[in-house]
């Protein structure tokens, strides 16, 4: 605080003093924190609060929050940062404190609802949780007993927890997990997986000397707030930052180097940088020698098993000789001299080189997975993998506690999520579900959507509407959601689930070189229990009957197997009270007492047992300063019954599994790849029919510049960028956030606008392969010429005046199906003030709800990673006389045909040994190994 005062004082006019910012109250006062009521000002009226820690649920970062619960009304008055959270350290982005808006949203769903009319008609009846449990459990039970396990699917948008759903789905014995990963991060994941056997990066930003981001981490990236604060720390300590992004994001504006690459050319630039590192000998030779599978490459690809390391380096230079800075300039538009300069900066940073790509270029382009692979190549060459200031595999920096008595993995393999055409996908081919159902590949009997809004989020939402309304294709649809959304409108049951301060979850994320866990809590329940009350279920303390999922799934599972004969119930029995149904408190108590190293001891130091400690602080740091995990020695007990093969791998003699690798005479764990090294050469790619991509390389994008003619109005549309203030669906009912952000104009460069005769605010029509949308222009120098961009957060809709998606964020629309598969959506009116229990709803001054664009995108599944390639080749036209702002037109017949075209590019399984997927590849909710075989 003193440092803050000093630094702020330096900017003040002479004579003005600084009032210290209020610190968070000390934990000793969290049971009874007293402050004056701001609303009573100027009178000094004391208010008493229970301060309860929880974790934010408005993005994946899981930052800490402190809820201030009014002890008179048991209402949450505000949310602030939790200083005891190791990643967020008391700070939040705007979305954290705005949780309080979501809690008090007058339009939120407070009770379980069942549809009363036709699906999508919008008539509902309130029902009890007991009835929900009975009706849904009996359907699931029937499907399981009839051997139709693959007809049960749980489709999650934002998990927000670690572990509980594995217990549920694996106890049911189903392969029913589906995710949103393939519209988010699967391309980047594959690139990392091929290198290191772990599919995400964890940059140690705060200790870096050079940071290269192919993303916008300072404003909205993955693990946004925890990363942003560490990037700024590094900058304050002298680190330089480079940002590759065709758009001058707020992140790029803070960088030392803005590299506005032509979309899809990023891998070419990265490989050219790699070439410079090699040519100028700016590499960490020892690291590359010790930790890459260069010998395997020389043996397999150069038929030279006797080659030495210097031979390999010579060969490497040859492989990347074509990637000159001049070639990269032609592809990307970045001057060759700047590429050389940044490469030298990277080389000079050496092992303190932090990098990240998450969605961005990887998610936008055909072959985007080679972007993360090429980025990883720079980390490998500089030896900055797993180092202080470098970039580690994410799993090193994430702690997932193991709960008691886990079910066996399932024996099933669900081809509706894991089709044979995409054996290397990361992960489920979630957004292709409508086409699979239309093709008759299967049927879904019970479909849960959970914090997931595919109609609005996924490409070609109209195809989702078509299958969701068809009861032959989807028998029972239950939407578990904290707020109304466009998909819940098409459900049979709408089940209100808690927000950040209304549920239990355990989360850990790879935010920095540390492992921590954080505990989400239902803050009113905890505050009232501190005051001596008791609750059987969290919905008894939450607003209305908003429940939490842990308790819901426990009760549902118990109802499916009430007498235990199906073998399900036992996984939901208390480890403390045999034969009794477990309580949510017991579930977490067991984990904290048995599964988190150091927590019982830390708690004991405060005279607490582990659960009360976590209830008090909300987070715990398990280990910090984690580097060089690959060097962990195999201990003598691990080496018993092993042998070392010709590739220096330590193999178990019992089952042939690889346990580690011998490097320079020492047996260590290495990386979880087949070679236990970082795989420059991927035998997996070769074995699985993609030999041309066995090395880090460059795949020209489906929106390559040579395929576009600007004179004909053709552009690349970047539809993926996030805003710092909104997140997909969940922030729709946060009034503060919608007041800040409610418009998504199309960014277009001044030179392009001139060519088209456009000015800021004027309407334009953006034509895609399957339709069009009408949006306003924002003319700017902050984007590459030839590229246009539109944020995907906007364009929420509702079809009823006072029902459905919240009125803070949505336009009232008219949706018409004009012929089979031909859909037209027109805004009837934008956002308007409305009367409610919250007087702010009558003060709404904005009218714009933005324009939805994802509906007009055909699916474009990368044939290898399975990623939907978000970038679009579009044609920009002036609007016609009938066109109005927000108009959307799509033809799902065309999207189906395009799905088929992209499908034809795949090289389906089986792979070696009749496998569906390489055994060493990660998979969420991994089944038994036997299920990997056809």
- Contacting positions for ligand SF4 (CB under 6 A): 56, 58-59, 61-63, 88, 92-93, 95-96, 224-225
Nearer to ligand SF4, 223 or 747 (CB): 223
CA atoms within 13 A of residue 865's CA, in its CB half-sphere: 34
> Which H/E stretch holds residue 896?
helix 892-903
Angstrom distance (rounded) from CA 86 to CA 99:
20
User: Are residues 425 and 866 in contact, defined by beta-carbon separation less than 8 angstroms?
Assistant: yes
How far apart are CB 57 and ligand SF4 at their closest, in Å? 7
How far apart are CB 224 and ligand SF4 at their closest, in Å? 4
Residue with tokens 């029919």: 689
Nearer to ligand SF4, 90 or 442 (CB): 90
Angstrom distance (rounded) from CA 557 to CA 629:
39
> Which H/E stretch holds residue 9?
helix 2-9
Nearer to ligand SF4, 676 or 792 (CB): 792
How far apart are CB 61 and ligand SF4 at their closest, in Å? 4
Nearer to ligand SF4, 95 or 807 (CB): 95
CA atoms within 13 A of residue 789's CA, in its CB half-sphere: 24
How far apart are CB 55 and ligand SF4 at their closest, in Å? 7
320: tokens are 């990347």
Nearer to ligand SF4, 88 or 729 (CB): 88
Nearer to ligand SF4, 61 or 366 (CB): 61
Give the residue among 66, 111, 97, 841 at the shortest CA–CA distance from 543: 111
How far apart are CB 58 and ligand SF4 at their closest, in Å? 4
Listed in sequence order, the residues at least 6 apart from 873 whose beta carbon sits closer than 8 Å to its beta carbon are 702, 703, 707, 708, 714, 715, 716, 717, 769
How far apart are CB 704 and ligand SF4 at their closest, in Å? 34
Q: Where would I find the beta strands (DSSP E) of 697-853?
A: 714-718, 746-749, 763-767, 771-780, 787-789, 797-798, 811-819, 822-829
How far apart are CB 499 and ligand SF4 at their closest, in Å? 11
User: Are residues 653 and 616 in contact, defined by beta-carbon separation less than 8 angstroms?
Assistant: no
CA atoms within 13 A of residue 653's CA, in its CB half-sphere: 7
Nearer to ligand SF4, 58 or 293 (CB): 58
How far apart are CB 90 and ligand SF4 at their closest, in Å? 11
Furthest CA-CA distance within the chain = 85
How far apart are CB 218 and ligand SF4 at their closest, in Å? 12
847 secondary structure, DSSP code = -
Question: What b/e sequence results for 745-776 when a residue is b if at least 16 CB atoms lie within 10 Å of its CB, and e otherwise?
Answer: bbbbbeebbeebebeeeebbbbbbbbbbbbbb
How far apart are CB 517 and ligand SF4 at their closest, in Å? 15
Question: What b/e sequence results for 514-539 when a residue is b if at least 16 CB atoms lie within 10 Å of its CB, and e otherwise?
Answer: bbbbbbbbbbbbbbbbbeeeebebbb
Packing angle of the helix pair 336-349, 325-332 (nearest 10 deg): 120
Angstrom distance (rounded) from CA 756 to CA 753:
5
How far apart are CB 653 and ligand SF4 at their closest, in Å? 46
Nearer to ligand SF4, 216 or 557 (CB): 216
604 secondary structure, DSSP code = H
Nearer to ligand SF4, 225 or 332 (CB): 225
How far apart are CB 349 and ligand SF4 at their closest, in Å? 26
Nearer to ligand SF4, 95 or 398 (CB): 95
How far apart are CB 724 and ligand SF4 at their closest, in Å? 8
Residue 75: CB atoms within 10 Å = 14
Distances (CA, A) of 822 to 12, 749, 811: 61, 32, 21
CA atoms within 13 A of residue 446's CA, in its CB half-sphere: 21
Nearer to ligand SF4, 95 or 649 (CB): 95
Nearer to ligand SF4, 95 or 450 (CB): 95
Nearer to ligand SF4, 88 or 487 (CB): 88
Question: What b/e sequence results for 803-828 when a residue is b if at least 16 CB atoms lie within 10 Å of its CB, and e otherwise?
Answer: ebbbbbbbbbbeeeeeeebbbebbbe
């Amino acid at each position: 605080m003193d440092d803050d005062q000093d630094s702020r004082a330096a900017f003040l006019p002479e004579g003005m003093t600084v009032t210290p910012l209020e610190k968070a109250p000390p934990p000793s006062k969290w049971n009874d924190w007293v402050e004056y009521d701001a609303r009573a000002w100027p009178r000094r009226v004391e208010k008493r609060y229970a301060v309860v820690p929880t974790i934010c649920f408005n993005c994946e970062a899981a930052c800490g929050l402190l809820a201030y619960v009014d002890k008179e009304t048991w209402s949450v008055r505000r949310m602030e940062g939790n200083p005891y959270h190791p990643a967020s350290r008391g700070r939040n982005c705007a979305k954290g404190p705005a949780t309080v808006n979501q809690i008090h949203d007058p339009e939120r769903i407070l009770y379980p609802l069942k549809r009363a009319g036709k699906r999508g008609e919008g008539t509902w009846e309130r029902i009890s949780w007991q009835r929900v449990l009975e009706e849904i459990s009996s359907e699931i039970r029937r499907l399981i007993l009839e051997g139709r396990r693959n007809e049960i699917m749980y489709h999650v948008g934002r998990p927000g927890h670690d572990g509980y759903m594995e217990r549920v789905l694996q106890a049911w014995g189903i392969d029913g997990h589906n995710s949103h990963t393939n519209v988010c991060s699967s391309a980047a994941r594959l690139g990392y997986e091929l290198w290191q056997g772990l599919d995400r990066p964890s940059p140690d930003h705060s200790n870096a000397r050079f940071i290269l981001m192919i993303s916008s981490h300072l404003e909205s990236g993955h693990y946004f707030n925890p990363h942003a604060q560490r990037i700024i720390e590094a900058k304050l300590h002298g680190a330089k930052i480079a940002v590759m992004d065709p758009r001058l994001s707020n992140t790029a504006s803070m960088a030392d180097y803005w590299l506005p690459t032509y979309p899809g050319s990023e891998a070419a630039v990265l490989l050219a940088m790699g070439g410079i590192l090699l040519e100028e000998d700016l590499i960490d030779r020892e690291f590359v020698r010790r930790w890459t599978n260069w010998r395997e490459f020389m043996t397999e690809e150069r038929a030279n098993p006797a080659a030495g390391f210097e031979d390999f380096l010579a060969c490497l230079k040859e492989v990347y000789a074509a990637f000159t800075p001049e070639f990269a300039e032609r592809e990307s538009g970045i001057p060759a001299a700047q590429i050389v300069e940044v490469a030298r900066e990277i080389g000079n940073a050496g092992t303190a080189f932090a990098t990240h790509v998450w969605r961005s270029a990887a998610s936008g382009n055909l072959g985007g997975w080679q972007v993360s692979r090429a980025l990883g190549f720079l980390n490998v060459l500089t030896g900055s993998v797993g180092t202080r200031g470098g970039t580690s595999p994410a799993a090193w920096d994430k702690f997932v506690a193991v709960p008691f008595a886990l079910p066996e993995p399932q024996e099933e393999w669900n081809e509706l999520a894991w089709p044979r055409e995409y054996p290397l996908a990361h992960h489920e081919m979630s957004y292709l579900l409508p086409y699979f159902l239309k093709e008759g590949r299967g049927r879904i009997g019970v479909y849960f959507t959970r914090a997931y809004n595919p109609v609005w989020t996924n490409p070609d939402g109209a195809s989702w509407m078509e299958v969701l309304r068809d009861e032959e294709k989807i028998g029972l649809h239950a939407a578990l959601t904290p707020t109304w959304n466009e998909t819940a409108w098409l459900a049979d049951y709408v089940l209100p689930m808690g927000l950040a301060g209304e549920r239990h979850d355990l989360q850990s994320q790879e935010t920095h070189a540390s492992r921590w866990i954080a505990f989400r809590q239902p803050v009113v329940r905890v505050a009232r229990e501190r005051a001596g009350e008791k609750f059987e279920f969290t919905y008894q303390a939450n607003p209305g009957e908003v429940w939490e999922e842990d308790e819901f799934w426990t009760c549902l599972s118990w109802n499916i197997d009430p007498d235990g004969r199906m073998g399900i119930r036992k996984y939901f029995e208390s480890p403390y009270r045999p034969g009794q149904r477990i309580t949510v408190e017991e579930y977490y108590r067991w984990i904290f007492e048995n599964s988190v190293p150091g927590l019982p001891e830390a708690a004991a130091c405060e005279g607490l047992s582990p659960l009360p400690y976590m209830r008090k602080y909300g987070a715990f740091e398990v280990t910090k300063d984690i580097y060089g995990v690959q060097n962990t020695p195999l201990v003598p007990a691990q080496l018993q019954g092993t042998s070392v093969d010709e590739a220096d791998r330590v193999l178990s003699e019992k089952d042939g599994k690889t346990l580690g690798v011998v490097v320079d005479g020492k047996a260590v764990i290495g990386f979880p790849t087949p070679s236990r090294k970082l795989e420059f050469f991927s035998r997996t790619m070769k074995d699985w029919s993609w030999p041309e991509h066995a090395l880090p390389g460059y795949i020209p994008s489906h929106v390559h510049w040579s395929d576009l003619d600007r004179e004909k109005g053709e552009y690349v549309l970047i539809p993926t960028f996030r805003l710092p203030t909104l997140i997909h669906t969940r922030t729709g009912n946060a009034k503060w956030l919608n007041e800040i952000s409610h418009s998504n104009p199309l960014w277009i460069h001044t030179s392009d606008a001139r060519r088209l005769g456009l000015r800021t605010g004027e309407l334009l029509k953006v034509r895609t392969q399957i339709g069009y949308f009408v949006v306003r222009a924002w003319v700017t120098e902050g984007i590459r010429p030839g590229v246009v961009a539109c944020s995907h957060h906007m364009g929420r809709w509702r079809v009823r005046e006072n029902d459905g998606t919240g009125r803070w964020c949505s336009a009232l629309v008219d949706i018409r199906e004009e012929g089979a598969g031909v859909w037209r959506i027109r805004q009837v009116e934008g956002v308007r003030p409305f009367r409610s229990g919250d007087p702010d709803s009558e003060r709404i001054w904005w009218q714009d709800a933005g324009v939805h664009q994802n509906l007009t995108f055909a699916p474009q599944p990368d044939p290898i990673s399975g990623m939907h390639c978000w970038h679009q080749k579009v044609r920009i036209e002036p609007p016609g006389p009938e066109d109005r702002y927000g108009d959307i037109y799509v033809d799902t017949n065309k999207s189906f045909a395009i799905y088929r075209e992209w499908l034809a590019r795949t090289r389906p399984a089986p792979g070696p040994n009749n496998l569906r997927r390489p055994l060493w590849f990660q998979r969420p909710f991994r089944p038994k190994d036997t299920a990997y075989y056809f």
